């Protein structure tokens, strides 16, 4: 569904899947960079030889929080842009479950079901998504989450019907 959409149109899509992101490759460089940024250098993430020898994964796996953080870029490639929006804000998560590890070299993508929309003041639309991050060729997803974002817009652009 990517493209652009109006505030009125998106509010009518509650209960439907409104986007699927592009696939993203999770390689060792990405995992190592995330480990450096978060200071989480646990061997299951950054030591391929030890992870192969001592874990059931056959090598390193991505940090769960790395997979979660990829939702931002998945949002850009998978969701329609709201025409009236001047800024998007991450509001937070209600429920996050890490269902399956993302092995180094895997590809992931996000599926977004629009669960709820709610106007907040004269210039904000809160959007809540039920998100699933799939792992290519795997039955179980990497994670599921309920994610709320805010679409900020100029009050003069608020349609009369909302």
Assess if residue 162 is contained within a domain.
Answer: no
Tens of pLDDT, residues 129-142? 999 999 999 999 99
DSSP annotation string for 1-50: --SEE-HHHHHTTTTSEEEEPPPEE--HHHHHHHHHHHT---HHHH-HHH
Rg of the chain in Å (alpha carbons): 18
Task: Say what the pTM is.
Answer: 0.93
Say how many domains are in the chain: 1
Domain coverage including residue 27: 4-157
Tens of pLDDT, residues 10-66? 999 999 999 999 999 999 999 999 999 999 999 999 999 999 999 999 999 999 999
Assess if residue 123 is contained within a domain.
Answer: yes
CB 85 within 8 A of CB 123: no
- Tell me the CATH number at 12: 3.10.129.10
Assess if residue 112 is contained within a domain.
Answer: yes
């Amino acid at each position: 569904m990517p493209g652009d959409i109006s505030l009125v149109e998106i509010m009518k899509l509650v209960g439907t899947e409104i986007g699927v992101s592009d696939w993203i490759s999770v390689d060792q460089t990405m995992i190592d960079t995330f480990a450096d940024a978060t200071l989480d250098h646990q061997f299951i993430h950054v030591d391929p030889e030890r992870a192969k020898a001592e874990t059931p994964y056959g090598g390193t796996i991505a940090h769960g929080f790395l997979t979660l953080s990829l939702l931002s870029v998945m949002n850009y490639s998978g969701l329609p842009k709201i025409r009236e929006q001047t800024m998007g804000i991450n509001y937070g998560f209600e429920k996050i479950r890490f269902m399956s590890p993302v092995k180094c070299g895997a590809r992931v993508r996000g599926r977004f079901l629009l669960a709820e929309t709610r106007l907040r003041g004269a210039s904000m639309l809160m959007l809540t998504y039920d998100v699933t991050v799939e792992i290519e060729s795997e039955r179980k997803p990497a994670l599921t989450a309920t994610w709320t974002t805010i679409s900020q817009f100029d009050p003069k652009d608020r349609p009369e019907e909302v």
